[in-house]
Amino acid sequence: MKLSIIQFDISWENRSASLGRIEHFLDRLEPATELVILPEMFTTGFSMKPGELSEPPYSDTFHWMLNVSLKGNFGICGSYIVKDNNNFFNRWIMVTPDSRVWNYDKRHLFTMSGEEKAFTRGTSKITFTYKDTRICPNICYDLRFPVWSRNMNDYDLLINSANWPEKRHDVWLTLLKARAVENQCFVAGANRVGIDGEGIRYRGDSLIISPKGKILARGAHDTECIVTADISLKELSEFRKKFPVLGDADNFTLLI
């Protein structure tokens, strides 16, 4: 599968400008891209104003994603602010050209920013299959909690859509590599660049990493760009057979 991460400067609390910026990059995707990955809160930036910025489920941004997916013949995913049953969620959504849809609500809300006061935390981990690739999504701060993303031999690709600040970029790189190695999976981390409305700087460093922890593709520092790499299920399967560490993993029950 060919993955493409769009690393861009999200327009602060401005959905139309952010979507327009993404469209600029969609026109520059490598041919045969099968999955496009966007950062966390790709329409607004990491804003704590869900009352002003949220959308109902399956509203404007969702229909934009459907149209983009159908036109480009690829899946597209990322998170944005959704109001559902009077609760606000940082919701990751993926759509496909044949109108399949998967949702994941961010489980670990970033308390240092007050996200837990503005949003409702998710209660369900999900995995799903697209193009024969089993995918597990998480969002930004989820990356710090390895039990949540523990691979029970039920996924091949871990996706993290993030707004990860520049001052913790070393942690970003370390944790993405750790999740790839410990879960024996490919990892795609999509981050933004620029300075948001709270004055927080982001330097990008979007990454696609192999199950052995090798960086397959990396976004430039402080630069809008597209990060593309091919991931091979055949190579993954051969590696897991040759070095079957998942078979020695501890069993546990996740209490939510």
**Tens digit of pLDDT per residue, the chain (256 long)?**
999 999 999 999 999 999 999 999 999 999 999 999 999 999 999 999 999 999 999 999 999 999 999 999 999 999 999 999 999 999 999 999 999 999 999 999 999 999 999 999 999 999 999 999 999 999 999 999 999 999 999 999 999 999 999 999 999 999 999 999 999 999 999 999 999 999 999 999 999 999 999 999 999 999 999 999 999 999 999 999 999 999 999 988 887 7
Q: What is the pTM of this model?
A: 0.98
* H or E stretch at 210: none
Q: Which tokens hold the place of 232?
A: 């091979």
Both tokens of 211, joined, read 């199950």
Rounded CA gap, 72 and 27, in Å? 9
- Name residue 89's amino acid: F
pLDDT at 256: 78
User: What size, in residues, is the chain?
Assistant: 256
Q: 3-class SS at 150?
A: coil
Q: How confident is the model at residue 254, as a pLDDT?
A: 83
Instruction: State the Cα–Cα distance between residues 138 and 125, nearest whole angstrom.
Output: 8
**Catalytic amino acids?**
40, 106, 140
Q: How far apart, in whole angstroms, are the C-alpha atoms of residue 224 and residue 203?
A: 9
DSSP 8-state symbol, 80: E
Architecture of domain 2-248: 4-Layer Sandwich (3.60)
Cα of first residue to Cα of last residue in the chain, in angstroms, is 32
> Structural domain boundaries of the chain?
2-248
Determine the pLDDT at residue 147.
Answer: 96
